[in-house]
Copies of this chain bind each other. A is one copy, B any other.
Amino acid sequence: MATDQARSDASETDTYEQFEARVQRISNVGNAAGILRWDQEVVMPDEGTPARAQQLSTLSSLSHELLTADETGELLSTLESDTLDEDATAVVREIRRRYDRETSVPQDLVEEISATASNAHPKWKQAKEADDFDHFAPTLEKLVALKREYANHIDPDADPYAVLFADYEPYIDLGTAERVLERLRETLVPLIDAVQDSDAALATDAFAGEFDDDDQEALARDVLDSLGYDWNRGRIDTAPHPFSSGTQFDARVTTRFEPADLLGSLTSTIHEFGHANYTLGLPDEGYATPLGEARDLSVHESQSRLWENHVGRSRPFWEHFLPIARERFPELEDVTPEEAYEAANQVYDDNLIRVEADELTYHLHIVIRFEIERDLIRGDLEVSEVPEVWNDKYEEYLGVRPDTDAEGCLQDIHWSHGDFGYFPTYSLGSVLASQLYAAAEDDCGEFDDDIREGEFAELNGWLRENIHRHGKRYVTPDLIEQATGEELTADYFLEYVESKYGDLYDLDGY
């Protein structure tokens, strides 16, 4: 019996090793593609596109073939009937999920969506430039239809929007996301009303002026130094749309520099630091398996928002960082930390553009997109109705009405990529950031003094311990529950903004 057991264990190990080798191959192809995309955004010469598109398409189809091969299915089935340890169980769970989804959608539909999205991008761009929604509408209709078809292949009995949402956020159910977004709308609409009615005059021009690009770059390096970025495993470059990408061995940040927007560049750098810092906290030994890969979009965004907002837009941060900024920009000599803090937290009362929004109004931009894309995918809204519904919602929730579709429903790139279900993860990320920050303070005490001293090790240690090192070991609700003792909740975010903006804008009842 003992021998039989040993033999059976050995064969399980062999099967698992084969499976793991396959998973690592798939992951390495994906990571190679990540480097190619970084290169394309950051350093590739203009005319490199045709070759790069073919290289990326080849890697993507190789990865798909490796994942959906019969061997993968057989290995999964064998392993699922075995007793595995917690880590192996998690790896099997994550790959099973991808395997089931990718094998359920016919490859020609995947290719049609990809081709349609490629053509949609220039259409959307032209439509936006010409403020002509009708130019984009037929393509958007086609994308909606194709993505409904795609969702139907994955689960014909499910709400198609829930299926699409699960592409970006597999383990938070849509019901939870909807409840969170609804609470944001209910609470933020009156809060923003109050802010807009407030007589408080914030010092908003602390960073007015023109700031040299090279000095901005030096300051971006200062802020990354200060936050503890590991330069042996990272770098900073510029990109038109800042992003971060990579692995635990090499997690890179990009940012942008505009002479008149020093604050925008800094907050963007801190945001991307948050993403890269998560990646760098993933365990080395899990590289190229789900155990060394980040949880999904909402958790990733929680990390960027935590550093951007809870740290980078806090009072003590500006007490710490303003003297450093003055070294690079002596013209900031007369700015006080309080003025910097106010400038970093002003609420705009007439902003129509999501990517220019403040921390408060941002989420209503998201709620609007969420409500519209959900209704589109469910068939409750026609594409032709989008501009009017968009404008009505902006008026209702934010008190502003776009004059053009270019500054309205054509402003974002996401739908032209066929990305329906992505937007909610931005707000879920902010909500989770607040919940994690509160839990960390609960465990470690308030971080204000640390931040004032430029000490981020304890906060980051808590994040490493409770989030980063787990990779995809736990499904998202379990990860959140273990880290914070609670389900995902908007409570902490709402508490945070009500207290912060109630104070900043001197609001009655907040």
Contact partner of A58 among B29, B35, B48, CB < 8 A? Answer: B29
- Nearest B residue to A28 via CB reads B58
- Bound Cα distance A52, B248 (Å): 11
Determine if A47 and B233 form an interchain contact, defined as CB atoms under 8 angstroms apart.
Answer: yes
Determine if B28 and A55 form an interchain contact, defined as CB atoms under 8 angstroms apart.
Answer: yes
- Counting every copy of the chain, the complex holds 2
* B contact residues around A146 at 8 Å (CB): none
Does A485 have its Cβ within 8 Å of any Cβ on chain B? Answer: no
Q: Which of A17-33 contact B (CB under 8 A)?
A: 24-25, 28-29, 31-33
Contact partner of A49 among B29, B248, B249, B288, CB < 8 A? Answer: B249
Size bracket of the A interface: 35 or more
Does A247 have its Cβ within 8 Å of any Cβ on chain B? Answer: yes
Ordered by A's residue number, 26 sampled pairs between the chains whose C-beta atoms are within 8 Å are A24-B54, A25-B62, A28-B57, A28-B58, A29-B62, A31-B51, A31-B55, A32-B33, A32-B58, A32-B59, A35-B35, A35-B39, A39-B39, A43-B235, A44-B250, A45-B232, A45-B234, A45-B250, A45-B252, A46-B232, A48-B233, A48-B250, A49-B249, A50-B249, A51-B249, A62-B62
Q: Which of A185-241 contact B (CB under 8 A)?
A: 231-235
- Bound Cα distance A35, B284 (Å): 23
* B contact residues around A284 at 8 Å (CB): 50
Query: Chain A's interface: helix, strand, loop or mixed, by majority?
Result: helix
Q: Which of A231-289 contact B (CB under 8 A)?
A: 231-235, 247-250, 252, 284, 287-288
Residues of A within 8 A of B (CB): 24-25, 28-29, 31-33, 35-36, 39, 43-52, 54-55, 57-59, 61-62, 231-235, 247-250, 252, 284, 287-288
Known: A45-B232, A48-B250. 15 other contacts (CB 8 A): A24-B54, A28-B57, A28-B58, A29-B62, A31-B55, A32-B36, A35-B36, A45-B250, A45-B252, A46-B233, A51-B288, A52-B249, A52-B250, A54-B288, A62-B62
